[in-house]
Amino acid sequence: MAHTENILDRIANQGIVLGDGGYLIELERRGWVDSGSGREKVGTGKGSGQFTPEVAIEHPDALRELHREFLNAGSQVLQALTFFGTREKLNRAGYGPQTETINAAAVRLAREVAGRQALVAGSVSRTQLFEREGPSAAGHVRDLIAEQVRILADAKVDFLILETFFHLQEMLIAIGCARATGLPIVATMTFRPRLTECSDGHSPSDCARSMIGAGADVVGANCEQEPERLLTIIREMRKAVTLPIAAQPAAFRTNESIPCFTRLPQFPDELESLQLPRTSFEHFAQQARTEGIQFLGGCCGCNAAYLQAFARGLSASSERAQRHVG
């Protein structure tokens, strides 16, 4: 079951590794994930904030199918759907007592589909407690993430992806917890509401350096922005550090004054009107090598069609590179 080649070897050997796409938004659109919309104003920090991953136990076939689609499209990594899977977040959605069951089931499903074709990553996200309670939540956050990371390691993920953190302080706590497992760590910050600094005021380059200083093996940015806007963040990180860079853009169009889709009025019920054409993902993949990106995946709004576009873009750029050598 275990792969001899870990994610870091794979990056070193291939130059660039293709990840997968976004699960929660896609499964919400297919009717299997609860956005919380209709009951509460999602994203205000007042309600449950929903978008929790209980689909892993409630509708496992739906999740299995999306994993299959990503694998078929060329994903070399499948992320277990454990995003928003800490006990406190699941509790708000009424699934707290099933925290271990949901996390373990998500890893099992990803592994079942991945077989020997893809690596399996455990996904760990922000808890939302820094947004709700501020830095005083730090101790509680550490306990919650430590618990989830232990469950994921026990379920035998190949590595961890810490993603969609708005506060660097919370990310550094997560990296600390993840280090205890000894697994490789991919750590990606999310920039909201500005591109120039994260929610607790650190620039992309400072975030990249701090994440590496704390023990991350691959650093980068994910979610909230379309490829073009995310690239401004990625370039800054690339200049600041030498370790591999990860980029996982969203497939939604943002704008100059609100460069993050979850702050736009279309979130979550009118996201279709912001959907980007998949060709923009193909173009991004064509640029990825020259931009120094070594882990490329998609975040919210990115389904298998976008992964296929990524795969096309990557193979076009590798043919171009070979022609130059030849």
**Site of interaction with Zn ion (CB under 5 A):** 223, 299-300
State the minimum distance, in angstroms, from the CB of residue 116 to Zn ion.
28
What is the smallest separation between the CB atom of 242 and Zn ion, expressed in angstroms? 27
Q: How far is the CB of 193 from Zn ion (least distance, A)?
A: 15
Least CB distance to Zn ion at residue 14 (A): 24
- To Zn ion, the closest distance from the beta carbon of 156 in angstroms equals 25
Per DSSP, 121 falls in state E
Residue among 145 and 300 whose Cβ is closer to Zn ion: 300
Residue 159 backbone phi and psi in degrees, to 5:
-160, 175
Q: Residue 83 or 104: which CB sits closer to Zn ion? A: 83
Closer residue to Zn ion (CB): 55 or 104: 55
Distance CA(129)–CA(52), nearest Å, equals: 15
Q: Which residues, 6 or more positions from 297, have their beta carbon under 8 angstroms from its beta carbon?
A: 18, 19, 20, 21, 75, 77, 222, 246, 247, 248, 310
* Least Cβ distance, residue 250 to Zn ion (angstroms): 5
Distance of CA 261 to the CA centre of its chain: 15
Q: Which is nearer to Zn ion, 137 or 223 (CB)?
A: 223
Residue among 244 and 298 whose Cβ is closer to Zn ion: 298
Shortest distance in whole angstroms from residue 170 CB to Zn ion: 16
Residue 171: name the closest of 225, 133, 227, 209 by CA.
209
Query: Under a CB-based contact definition with an 8 Å cutoff, are residues 304 and 278 in contact?
Result: no
Shortest distance (Å) from residue 272 CB to Zn ion: 16
Residue with Cβ nearer Zn ion (107 or 300): 300
Q: Which two tokens stand for residue 131?
A: 């947004």
Between 17 and 221, name the residue whose CB sits nearer to Zn ion.
Answer: 221
How far apart (Å, rounded) are the C-alpha atoms in residues 270 and 268?
Answer: 6
Coil vs helix vs strand at 149 = helix
Cα–Cα distance, 11 to 3 (Å, whole number): 14
Helices (H), 225-303: 227-240, 279-288
Nearer to Zn ion, 157 or 223 (CB): 223
Assigned token pair, 173: 């706590």
The Cα–Cα gap between 245 and 93 comes to: 34
Q: Going by C-beta distance under 8 Å and a sequence separation of 6 or more, which residues neighbour residue 65?
A: none
Q: Are strands 185-189 and 218-222 parallel, antiparallel or unpaired?
A: parallel
